[in-house]
Amino acid sequence: MTATTNVSVDSSRGAGRPARSRNRRWRGRIGPIIVLVAIIGAWIALPSMSAVPHYVIPPLAEVVSALTDPSAWPNYGQGIATTMSAVGLGLVIGVAVGLGLALLLAELPVLYRAIFPYIVALEAIPKVALAPLFVIWFGFGLGSKLVVVVLLVFFPVLVNTVHGLREVDTDRIDLFRVAGASKLQRLWRLSLPTALPSIFSGLELAVSGAMVGAVVGEFVGAQRGLGVQILVAQARMDTAGVFALLILLSAIGVALNTLVRVLRRRVVFWVKPLPAQTV
């Protein structure tokens, strides 16, 4: 009788967990939905309730019309493809450079103390100031944009990876040494798994940096891309077109960030996500 009761209690608890999980997910999503509705409502009401000119804040209907204009979508598609090629390639190169350099600096503290201050000094320089120099060196096109993206990507990956590798418990390191594990085995089976949460935090920052770097590179010197289209719309005083392009950039950035967060939950499954992470 007691065993049966225990089984039924455990079953009821197990059945309640999916419902609680769904409730938590819904509570996590309802906040952003309320904020979005409030922003849309304010955007609709502001032009009619104030004397703000339409060229400053265009009505939402004009932005939606510019965003859904079939004649504009070939240009949007070309701009997205051009910008995302720089973002994607820059992410691959920047992450590879950041991870590789972080592993090297974590294993060689002397090298870390010698070069890390100069890496910080390079990161402190605004990339908008460096972009014209990259245009002189690499010309108008993918090369100059790619350098800007890589510079904005590799630093957060580098810093977060180094901190993650330094957080490895020394007792566990000693245990691996006593067991006769090689440096490669210790790195692959202990250091990297411990540093994965920090690495993915760096990746989330890197995705945003890649978007910023690509657009900054297109502002300074490029012939195609969403950044160039923003400059063209600005020159025409087409504020609705500028807002439409900004919405496209925001949507792409959110999609990339969501992809990284989903990948983080699949890979770093032993770390409880933050309450805001409901994807």
pLDDT of res. 127? 82
Mapped onto helix, strand or coil, the DSSP state of residue 18 is helix
What is the per-residue pLDDT for 18? 58
| Residue with the larger pLDDT of the pair 140 and 28 | 140
Q: Which of 45-54, 55-64, 74-83, 224-233 has the lowest mean pLDDT?
A: 45-54
Q: How far is it, in rounded angstroms, from Cα 193 to Cα 185?
A: 12
Higher local confidence (pLDDT), 88 or 140: 88
215-242 b/e (C-beta count within 10 Å ≥ 16 → b): bbbbbbbbebbbbbbbbebeeeebbbbb
pLDDT in tens, 54-82: 777 888 888 888 888 888 889 999 999 99
- Top pLDDT among 211 and 15 is at 211
Distance CA 138, CA 144 (A): 5
Average pLDDT over residues 144-158: 91
Q: Does residue 263 register a pLDDT over 80? A: yes
| Selected residue with higher pLDDT from 203 and 11 | 203
First-to-last C-alpha distance (Å) of the chain: 42
Residue 200 makes CB contacts below 8 A (sequence gap 6+) with: 260, 263, 264, 267, 268
pLDDT of residue 24: 61
Q: Which residues contact 239 (CB under 8 A, 6 or more apart)?
A: 54, 55, 56, 57, 58, 233
* pLDDT-based confidence at residue 94 (cuts at 50, 70, 90): very high
Q: Which residue has the tokens 């300074």?
A: 220
**Exposure string for 25-42, b = 16+ CB within 10 A, e = fewer:** eeebeeeeeeeeeeeeee
pLDDT at 98: 92
pLDDT band at 2 (very low <50, low <70, confident <90, very high): very low
Angle at which helix 226-235 crosses helix 192-220, to 10 degrees, equals 40
- Residue, of 78 and 45, whose pLDDT is higher: 78
Q: What is the pLDDT at residue 136?
A: 86
The answer, yes or no, to whether residue 1 has pLDDT greater than 60, is no
Amino acid 95: pLDDT: 94
Question: Would the pLDDT of 115 be above 60?
Answer: yes
In whole numbers, what is the pLDDT of the chain averaged over residues? 82
103 pLDDT above the threshold of 80 = yes
Closest CA to 253 of 215, 201, 198: 215
Confidence grade of residue 97 (pLDDT, cut at 50, 70, 90): very high
Give how far Cα 139 sits from Cα of 12, 77, 131, 177, 201, Å.
66, 24, 11, 51, 33
What pLDDT does residue 88 have? 93
Of 21-25, 29-33, 68-72, 112-116, the one with minimum mean pLDDT is 21-25
Q: What confidence score (pLDDT) does residue 189 get?
A: 80
Q: Residue 101 has what pLDDT?
A: 92
Would you say residue 264 has pLDDT above 70? yes
Given a cut of 80, whether residue 21 has pLDDT beyond it is no
